Amino acid sequence: MERRTYTAADADRTLPFVSRVVEDIVAEHARWRALVAALEMANATRVADVSDPRAESLERDVLAAAARLDAYAAELAPLGVVVQSHELGLVDFPATVDGRPAFLCWRLGEPAVRFWHDRGAGLIGRRPLYSRAA
């Protein structure tokens, strides 16, 4: 399967859809973290070898939230968009910058795709596109 590459303008055109999905991801991630914390607390106070319906329910809820996170990421997969941070709402678009493979980088709340990084650099290597912005 050939991998799609994006220009900043191409990526910007996807943002109405991508931003809605990423909003869902960030909200679901917060719910998942709260459920995990509640499950950890329930397990910490649980008596060994004694069934705890609350812990069992929380465990099901944690797994369901994780499945929803996977489903949201799967909505972006056909576009080639990669979720880098569920918490931050950070996604990468495959691109070519200065003739080399790179990612255009967008974070929930930003008005447009205006940053990029080399393929192994991640968020720490994020740089402005400057004149590359279409």
pLDDT in tens, 59-101: 999 999 999 999 999 999 999 999 999 999 999 999 998 888 9
The rounded distance, in Å, linking the Cα atoms of 43 and 76 is 34
Distance CA(134)–CA(131), nearest Å, equals 8
Extents of the domains making up the chain: 8-132
Determine phi and psi for 43, rounding to 5 degrees.
Answer: -70, -30
Higher-pLDDT residue of 34, 133:
34
CA dist 25 and 15 (Å) reads 14
Entry pTM: 0.85
